Structure 1
Amino acid sequence: MCGICCVVTLGSQHAVHDFFNEDVLCHLRRRGPDSSQQLIKNVSDLSYQCLFSSHVLHLRGLLTPQPLEDANNNIFLWNGEIFNGVHVGDLENDTEVMFHHLALCSSEADILSLFSSLQGPWSFIYYQASRHSLWFGRDYFGRRSLLWQFSNEADSAFCLTSVSVYSQSDNQCQEVPASGIFKMDLKACATTKSLSLTLFPWKYSCAEKTGEEVFINVLNQASKDLPNHVSLVMNESKLCLKAPVIPLNKTLSEVSGECPGTNMSNVTNMVSVETLQGFLAKQHKKKNVHQFINVLNEAVKRRVLSLFRGEDQKTEVPCLSDRKAHIAVLFSGGIDSMVIAALADKHVPLGEPIDLLNVAFMIKEQAKKKGTTKKQVQHDLLCPPEGCKDFDAKTGAHLPCFDVPDRVTGRAGLKELQGINPSRTWNFVEINVTLEELKKMRQQCINHLIYPLDTVLDDSIGCAIWFASRGEGFISNQGELKPYKSPAKVVLTGIGADEQLAGYSRHRVCFKKYGLEGLNKELEMELDRISSRNLGRDERIIGDHGKEARFPFLDEDVVSFLNSLPISEKADLTLPRGIGEKLILRLAAKELGLTASTILPKRAVQFGSRIAKLESNSEKASDTCSRLKLFSGDEL
């Protein structure tokens, strides 16, 4: 993984360094601690200048500093992982492999064909010297962050970067749309002293005739947040990239509405792990489940083995105390993280620990003194009022004030995983966050990572993921709690499961109102917008710790398999929570040997970790979050 940045200036009135923010450089270096380099390309006869800055997190093959430049003066910056589509040898670095393939491209169509063939997350910047062209973009799902920022019209400057800093200026950053890849003709832009971009969009099949209306819609969506002085046009040849997944199967078939072997009048009380066995008795259901397990297993395998392990690989059975974790899982004990952890266990070398990162935010005293509702009574049982009186940040990992729902289910999930493989060292990392530390770190860095997103929901999820992926907490060592910081460079996350398998409460609302047809449309929209709602933000958050986010549920083969199934094979929202949503995943978990976690209802991280409502009880998730815009003293 890398932090990449490119600044372009047109005309000679400003040096390129005038537009390169030193605070951005600081954030980029945090993403790539293993190598930092800059390169300036000054084309004086055409009056444009480019600054390329790249910061590398070494994960595969030999350490390859960036930017890369070849004998023809082409320059390449890459923040990605090739998991399939283009061969990368075990000892090769995918940055060099991609640059080699790009150098062989003799036309726009060749470049599009290359990027269409890739499987894996990526963002890139490529300067094609002979044509004075700057290419850039993100993968189909937007699993790697890339932002763009345009100066005012008079300055004619342009910046691309993995991460920026919050600014109150008029020149706001925006996420580069994952609508396709973009090209800027620097020669033409320098001549006209204007900024113009060309789009090459994603389409399911470039062989099919694409209507003009579709192109116009894609273009309008991609350009809606651009400044007025920046133009975006469709490429004249109407060339496109072939989408790496198949379209969603919208076939409608009746859902059963029945849990095999149960009386539906008492179904809410009777749903149990055994209930899942009734579904698996149906041969077609079991076949689909096993196909799903196979494709998800391969996705996890690619993500835990595509990693340089150094000396650890040379010893078959080393002393356990000498081994460090290379793989971590954002872990709540819920169905998504449990399945990922169980599949990772199949491929991570046995002597290597797996870190399970479990975050909890300290529960406010006033929250524990409220009312008498059933939920509040259960809450008080978990977190008695006296629990926080003796809190000590250095030794207080098991204090009840951190026994939030995700901590409770996380511990239960740990026991299930230990039952599946007692030989594995499972590091259950209890990450405890006080309100004071939350405020401090949000103001110091998290708000810049969430930017340009700005809602209450972005704040809650972003802060929870930042503390979780930092991996600083406590683990139990022979019954004693010890401070621990996860050394794992790869962080697996379950995002994408809810979006594809109807895991959110809004999916039930949609199903009740509009039936299966409406639910299909909602799920199609979920994947279409996941790049702008989730993935860029989460990748910036996790990358800030010099770690790489990997998303098994968004593997191209996994998405294509799930897209091939009608919705009735993936979820049944006539059934109660804890079984109907993500039904195929629950059945897969049962087949993998998981137990109680297979019927846990969906619980979003902002509620499970108890960060939601920690600072304000009157906010809505969609509100603009004022806390993300507050600064004390000097701004970053």
Structure 2
Amino acid sequence: MCGICCVITLSSQHGLHDSFSKDVLSCLRRRGPDSSQQLIKTVSDLSYKCLFSGQVLHLRGLMTAQPLEDANNNIFLWNGEIFDGVHVGSLENDTEIMFHRLTLCNSESEILSLFSSLRGPWSFIYYQGSSDCLWFGRDYFGRRSLLWQFSNEVERAVCLASVSVYSESDKQWQEVPASGIFKIDLKDCATAKALSLSLFPWKYSCTEKTGEEIFTNVLDQVSKGLPNHILVVANESRLCLTAPVIPLNKTISEALGECQCTNVSNVNNTVSVETLQAFLRVEHKKKLVHQFIDVLSEAVKKRVLALVRDEDEKRRDPPSMSTRKAHVAVLFSGGIDSMLIAALADRHVPMEEPIDLLNVAFTTKEQNKQKCASKKYSDQEVHLDLLSHQESCEVFDAKTTNEFDVPDRITGRAGLKELKVLNSLRTWNFVEINVTVEELKRMRQQRISHLIYPLDTVLDDSIGCAVWFASRGEGFVSNCGELKPYRSSAKVVLTGIGADEQLAGYSRHRVCFKNYGLEGLNKEIEMELDRISSRNLGRDDRIIGDHGKEARFPFLDEDVVSFLNSLPISEKADLTLPRGLGEKLLLRLAAVELGLTASAILPKRAVQFGSRIAKLESNSEKASDKCSRLKSLPTDEV
């Protein structure tokens, strides 16, 4: 994880630091606490100036400060992880590897070929000294944040940064679209005294669309919202990047559900583990589940092993389990997505190393506390009849409930029990992160709102706040029955985002299926991944990165996405089945096969409801409404 920033100005009157405030630098430094430096490049004969700023969170190989510069005036800023496609040795740093590979490229097509080969999240800024060109962009899914801001026609400047700061008086920042990579010919722009961007879009290698159709569609999308004086054009050679995943299989089987219904008819499609076990007695289904587990397990493995571990800890003899620190954490609600990730992480994280399970809860409003306690969470949303009677009584004992016993806390504790059964030798740090209304308001104003920006809806606020407090990792862990203060040391945070989008996990998928059938559901699933960069990933990267930690997304591993894209929708979900069973069916079957039971049939519960942050605000708000709490905030405390 790194904080990267570049300011380009074509105007001698416009200073580089005018677009690079101390507040932005503070945000960038929190993303990269291990190194921070700047480099200024002035090309006097062409009248343009560049400022490059790099902040580094050291995770792999030798510590490598940014920006990198070579003897040929090439400059490189990298915020990414290479998990495959380009070889990175265990002691090597991927920033240096990428810079070296880029400097060997002699043409645009070679640069595109290099980025097309990468597997893993990335954003980058590359100044090519020999051609006076600036290249930049985000990976296919947009898993790393990159924003841009354009000044007016007189100032003629552009700023690129991993994160920004909201100000009412400031020019609007926007997320750089994850539509491809961009190139600015600074020599041409300086001569014309105008900014123009060339786009190199993504396309499937086997796409049926012609090149011109791709460019027309993408250029229209990218240009929306940009100032009128900023021109985005197709690159002259009409070159494209090759998408790292295969297209979605939209096949709809005529015999949908025949074998499934036959095998589960004896349990009446009830929401139970027995129903899922009946599916697993189908040989084809069981084989498919094992293939899914294998590809997802490999994705988790890459993400928990690709980081530097303390050599002193490795050499300690004998190892002290109680003093080991966690290097990997999971955003953990006890739901099916986080349970599966935690169970697979357990396969690959060294046994002597703890895994932190980060579970966040927000206190309810004063007037709701008594009401919530009296309900004992018996409503359908959080009812856990899937637990044994003894466990259910223990979890819902009124004596143990308090203002932070929100739905996700309850399912989280139940999930912890399941994980301990899977591996009792592992130290599972269940971190209870409790957030009061006062702290929520304070930190939203000081930090979180600026990280969510430029997104601005009620949903962004709820999810952004929940993820920020969860990933900070400050809470309590149980030690011999006593809760003690704890702060997670893990630099890698695994999150389950991408599962619902690909496996029909949202309630809107059921609505779509009811209204438009499988064909409509396929279109919705396809749209989910197309927009995930702008709806979720840039925001979550900025939020988690603010703690000097790196978000990693196993469900968005390229091999996982390609595997799921290869399957017809009927193999991934069956929305004719009840809630808690039909959505994310393939995921639930994988959970049962791994030995998880209670969590395998938990219905989807969004973090804003499970953590109860949504209960703290106005009940009349809609998720898509502009959030007034994210506006008119001071920047001097950032």
Same fold, TM-score > 0.5, yes or no: yes
- Are residues 1:324 and 2:325 paired? yes
* Distance (Å, rounded) in 1 between the aligned partners of 2:454 and 2:611: 24
* Distance (Å, rounded) in 1 between the aligned partners of 2:357 and 2:400: 16
* Distance (Å, rounded) in 2 between the aligned partners of 1:350 and 1:242: 39
- Counting only pairs closer than 5 Å after superposition, residues 33-72 of structure 1 correspond to structure 2 as 33-72=33-72
* Distance (Å, rounded) in 2 between the aligned partners of 1:365 and 1:419: 37
Contact in 2 for aligned 1:151/1:158 (Cα 8 Å): yes
Amino acid paired to 1:495? I
- Counting only pairs closer than 5 Å after superposition, residues 281-296 of structure 1 correspond to structure 2 as 281-296=281-296
| Structure 2 unaligned blocks of 5 or more | 384-398
Q: Could you say which residue in structure 1 is the equivalent of 2:344?
A: 343
Shift of 1:132: 0.3
Q: Could you say which residue in structure 1 is the equivalent of 2:184?
A: 184
Amino acid paired to 2:129? A
> Secondary structure of 1:355's match?
strand
- Counting only pairs closer than 5 Å after superposition, residues 468-487 of structure 1 correspond to structure 2 as 468-487=470-489
Q: Deviations over 1:301-342 (max 9, x none)?
A: 000000000213345851112310000000000000000000
Shift of 1:170: 5.8
Q: Deviations over 1:116-143 (max 9, x none)?
A: 0000000000000010000000000000
544-553 or 270-279: bigger deviation: 270-279
298-307 or 247-256: bigger deviation: 247-256
* Distance (Å, rounded) in 2 between the aligned partners of 1:368 and 1:474: 21
> Secondary structure of 1:409's match?
helix
169-178 or 325-334: bigger deviation: 169-178
Amino acid paired to 1:607? F
Shift of 1:479: 1.3
Amino acid paired to 2:362? F
Q: Could you say which residue in structure 2 is the equivalent of 1:137?
A: 137
Amino acid paired to 1:514? Y
Contact in 1 for aligned 2:165/2:635 (Cα 8 Å): no
Q: Could you say which residue in structure 2 is the equivalent of 1:234?
A: 234
Amino acid paired to 2:174? Q
- Are residues 1:512 and 2:500 paired? no
Contact in 2 for aligned 1:443/1:630 (Cα 8 Å): no
Shift of 1:548: 0.1
Q: Could you say which residue in structure 2 is the equivalent of 1:403?
A: 405
Contact in 2 for aligned 1:368/1:379 (Cα 8 Å): no
Q: Could you say which residue in structure 2 is the equivalent of 1:391?
A: none
- Counting only pairs closer than 5 Å after superposition, residues 335-414 of structure 1 correspond to structure 2 as 335-368=336-369, 378=379, 400-414=402-416
Q: Could you say which residue in structure 2 is the equivalent of 1:578?
A: 580
> Secondary structure of 1:452's match?
coil
Q: Could you say which residue in structure 1 is the equivalent of 2:434?
A: 432
Q: Could you say which residue in structure 2 is the equivalent of 1:394?
A: none
Amino acid paired to 1:89? G
Shift of 1:634: 5.0
> Secondary structure of 1:301's match?
helix
* Distance (Å, rounded) in 2 between the aligned partners of 1:354 and 1:376: 28
Q: Could you say which residue in structure 1 is the equivalent of 2:535?
A: 533
Q: TM-score, normalised by structure 1?
A: 0.94
Q: Deviations over 1:484-516 (max 9, x none)?
A: 000000000000000000000000000000000
- Are residues 1:202 and 2:188 paired? no
Q: Could you say which residue in structure 2 is the equivalent of 1:333?
A: 334
Contact in 2 for aligned 1:317/1:351 (Cα 8 Å): no
Q: Could you say which residue in structure 2 is the equivalent of 1:604?
A: 606
- Are residues 1:561 and 2:573 paired? no
Contact in 1 for aligned 2:166/2:633 (Cα 8 Å): no
Shift of 1:169: 3.1
Quick one: structure 1 residues 4 and 371, their matched pair in 2 at CA, closer, same or farther if it must change by over 3 Å?
closer
Quick one: structure 1 residues 449 and 588, their matched pair in 2 at CA, closer, same or farther if it must change by over 3 Å?
same
483-492 or 245-254: bigger deviation: 245-254
* Distance (Å, rounded) in 2 between the aligned partners of 1:233 and 1:151: 19
Shift of 1:15: 2.2
Q: Could you say which residue in structure 2 is the equivalent of 1:501?
A: 503
Amino acid paired to 1:424? R
Quick one: structure 1 residues 262 and 116, their matched pair in 2 at CA, closer, same or farther if it must change by over 3 Å?
closer
* Distance (Å, rounded) in 2 between the aligned partners of 1:416 and 1:371: 26
Contact in 2 for aligned 1:259/1:575 (Cα 8 Å): no
600-609 or 162-171: bigger deviation: 162-171
Q: TM-score, normalised by structure 2?
A: 0.94
Q: Could you say which residue in structure 1 is the equivalent of 2:250?
A: 250
- Counting only pairs closer than 5 Å after superposition, residues 1-40 of structure 1 correspond to structure 2 as 1-40=1-40
* Distance (Å, rounded) in 2 between the aligned partners of 1:264 and 1:620: 41
Contact in 2 for aligned 1:62/1:92 (Cα 8 Å): yes
Shift of 1:153: 1.0
- Are residues 1:175 and 2:212 paired? no
* Distance (Å, rounded) in 1 between the aligned partners of 2:148 and 2:249: 34
> Secondary structure of 1:344's match?
helix
> Secondary structure of 2:403's match?
helix
Q: Deviations over 1:226-265 (max 9, x none)?
A: 1101000000111000000000000001432866665589
> Secondary structure of 2:33's match?
coil
Amino acid paired to 1:60? R
Amino acid paired to 1:358? N
Quick one: structure 1 residues 193 and 359, their matched pair in 2 at CA, closer, same or farther if it must change by over 3 Å?
same
Amino acid paired to 1:221? Q
* Distance (Å, rounded) in 2 between the aligned partners of 1:281 and 1:37: 59
Contact in 1 for aligned 2:267/2:275 (Cα 8 Å): no
* Distance (Å, rounded) in 1 between the aligned partners of 2:603 and 2:501: 15
Q: Could you say which residue in structure 2 is the equivalent of 1:388?
A: none
560-569 or 187-196: bigger deviation: 187-196
* Distance (Å, rounded) in 1 between the aligned partners of 2:96 and 2:51: 20
Contact in 2 for aligned 1:586/1:599 (Cα 8 Å): yes
Shift of 1:365: 2.7
Shift of 1:222: 1.1
Q: Deviations over 1:347-376 (max 9, x none)?
A: 000000000000000012322456999897
Q: Could you say which residue in structure 1 is the equivalent of 2:621?
A: 619
> Secondary structure of 1:403's match?
coil
* Distance (Å, rounded) in 2 between the aligned partners of 1:300 and 1:475: 25
Amino acid paired to 2:101? H
Contact in 1 for aligned 2:339/2:415 (Cα 8 Å): yes
Q: Could you say which residue in structure 2 is the equivalent of 1:123?
A: 123
Q: Cα RMSD over matched residues?
A: 2.1
Q: Deviations over 1:383-434 (max 9, x none)?
A: xxxxxxxxxxxxxx97611010000000000000000000000000000001
Quick one: structure 1 residues 398 and 4, their matched pair in 2 at CA, closer, same or farther if it must change by over 3 Å?
farther
Amino acid paired to 1:42? T
Q: Could you say which residue in structure 2 is the equivalent of 1:463?
A: 465
* Distance (Å, rounded) in 1 between the aligned partners of 2:165 and 2:521: 37
Contact in 1 for aligned 2:264/2:278 (Cα 8 Å): no
Shift of 1:379: 9.7
Q: Could you say which residue in structure 1 is the equivalent of 2:153?
A: 153
Shift of 1:215: 1.5
| Structure 1 unaligned blocks of 5 or more | 383-396
* Distance (Å, rounded) in 1 between the aligned partners of 2:380 and 2:374: 10
Amino acid paired to 1:229? H
Q: Could you say which residue in structure 1 is the equivalent of 2:77?
A: 77
> Secondary structure of 1:3's match?
strand
Q: Deviations over 1:33-82 (max 9, x none)?
A: 00001000011111000000000000000000000001101000000000
- Counting only pairs closer than 5 Å after superposition, residues 209-220 of structure 1 correspond to structure 2 as 210-220=210-220
| Number of equivalent positions | 620
* Distance (Å, rounded) in 2 between the aligned partners of 1:255 and 1:314: 56
Identity of aligned residues (%): 78
Quick one: structure 1 residues 316 and 604, their matched pair in 2 at CA, closer, same or farther if it must change by over 3 Å?
farther
Q: Could you say which residue in structure 2 is the equivalent of 1:389?
A: none
* Distance (Å, rounded) in 1 between the aligned partners of 2:241 and 2:444: 38
Shift of 1:635: 6.8
Shift of 1:615: 1.8
> Secondary structure of 2:45's match?
helix
